[in-house]
Structure 1
Amino acid sequence: MLRDTELDDVVMVHCAPQPQDVIFRNELHSLVADKKLRLTEVHTDTDGKLDIARLRELLPDWAERETWACGPAGLLDAAEEHWTEQGVQERLHTERFRTGIIFAGEGGEVTFSATGKTIDADGATPLLDIGEEGGVLMPSGCRMG
């Protein structure tokens, strides 16, 4: 369990395409103003994707910190590999948006109940992608940053 004294040096590296895409940006900047958070924003439209090797530049003591990472599979795979190579894998805690695909099913027809639209699916493509490619509007937070 974390105590308040353990939260006096919190650093967040947040990636989003543009500044306006940073979720809870106003709240995060308020925490920065109150000196409760150090924030580094990486804007992928101009800075490119976060290269894990840049961590030493962004946060020189990264290997000494407990780290919580959440994001796309490629970023998390790179982080796990980097922390393992540095011998500090026990300090990295990840949350994945989707599980890895162990094997693809045969596929078949998918019918979207709200629209009644039926689309052939290959068994390996996520349903959100199948629906979007077929013109079905699907409420989702998956593309928000």
Structure 2
Amino acid sequence: MSHADLPTRAERLARPLRAALQHPWVAAIVRESAVEDSLQALHPLLSLHQVKARVVKCIAETADTRTLVLRPNAMWRGARAGQFVGLTVEINGRRHERMYSLTSRPGSRLLAITVKRQGLVSTHLHEQVRVGDVLTLGPAMGGFVLPAVLPDKILLLSAGSGITPVMALLRELQARGQTRRVVFVHGCRSPAEQIFAAELAAMPGLRLIQHFSASAGHLTPAALQAQVPDFAERATWVCGPAGLMDAMHAHWQATGITAPLHSERFAAAPLAAEPLTAPVHITLLRSATSFASLGAAPLLNQAEAAGLAPKHGCRIGICRSCQCVKRSGTVQHLHTGELSSAPNELIRLCVSAARSDLELDL
């Protein structure tokens, strides 16, 4: 057996081995984490339950955007075009998870994520990750996908790095031979910042409209109307900055457009809780720790400011990585403004603010 074949053949044993380790008699003797560590030492792609993916290619898309092409192990269960995954890396001894849209076409043996440099993890992926490195992925998530039966007229609309899930949709449409149904409008600052420019220009049958804000201003509903007069008749998928998303949703609602508008948000919640007049106390029951808060920021931010490191991912309420049980107390949901005092309810730390003393099952 060659070294290259080792991950594939060994991964076939993962399911029965995992089942055996879960038997009470075996679990009392052997820790699953110890077996996981042994597998990692044998080969970095081996795992009982985690998706491990080796970087096989790095592509510079623009000056601040690169695509990582990944070969996953047998734990990968596939994805639909438009979905995203959690990606976990270790930086200076701390594990960090972020959400990235898959830009590869579904069904491909290789995965791809396209990352714009704009934060701690994305900078790490740009500066430190090389071909041959192994990354940890979560399962595919998200409902920003195409239906099995396509509408006759489709509008894909994106701006900036919001092009990433939209590009996956477009690649699926190309594979299905349906790009002639599509108008794709993409906004960015200048031609130098256009991600996937060469591929888009060469895609047969696609009507591509590029909107450069440095010369034409922001992409607005009025600008869209001028460039795509029949856009109100098109089923639309949109992803981009919060301003673009809010403007399009408001326009659809104000004008009564009946064509569906599907969206994917990668921006923080617009609401913010009012500061409290006196500190409240948040108690983490499992770790027997606590900290004080004035409640103006999400609980995740407050915990981090107190030196704690709760598990998290997207930081915008999508991935549920930071979800926990609130045993008691009142929180405000920062997307909706809703207050909730129900005991033993699931909350997401990244979109919840404390409005009273809290007990969290963390």
TM-score range relative to shorter protein: 0.5 to 0.7
Matched, 1:20 2:189: no
CA contact (8 A) 1:63 1:88 kept: yes
1:48 maps to a residue whose letter is G
Greater helix share, structure number: 1
The Cα offsets for residues 67-110 of structure 1, whole Å up to 9 and x where unpaired, read as 11100111100000001112125511111112415432484366
Higher relative contact order (CA 8 A, sep 6+): 1
Distance 1:89 1:100, change over 3 A: farther
Q: How many angstroms apart in 2 are the aligned matches of 1:89 and 1:109?
A: 47
CA contact (8 A) 1:15 1:41 kept: yes
SS of equivalent to 2:185 = strand
In the alignment, what sits opposite 1:11? 183
Identity of aligned residues (%): 37
Distance 1:24 1:2, change over 3 A: farther
Runs of 4+ with >4 A deviation = 3-7
Alignment of 1:128-143 (within 5 A): none
CA contact (8 A) 2:236 2:259 kept: no
Distance 1:101 1:54, change over 3 A: closer
Give the counterpart of 2:232 among 63, 75, 90.
63
Alignment of 1:28-47 (within 5 A): 28-31=200-203, 34=204, 36-47=205-216
- Larger Rg over CA atoms: 2
Q: How many positions carry a matched residue from both structures?
A: 110
SS of equivalent to 1:40 = strand
SS of equivalent to 1:100 = coil
C-alpha displacement at 1:44, in angstroms? Answer: 1.1
Distance 1:6 1:64, change over 3 A: farther
SS of equivalent to 1:56 = helix
Q: How many angstroms apart in 1 are the aligned matches of 2:258 and 2:247?
A: 12
Q: CA RMSD in A?
A: 2.6
SS of equivalent to 2:181 = coil
Q: How many angstroms apart in 2 are the aligned matches of 1:37 and 1:99?
A: 32
Distance 1:110 1:78, change over 3 A: farther
Distance 1:39 1:110, change over 3 A: farther
Normalization by structure 2: what TM-score?
0.28
SS of equivalent to 2:215 = helix
Greater strand share, structure number: 2
Q: How many angstroms apart in 1 are the aligned matches of 2:184 and 2:233?
A: 15
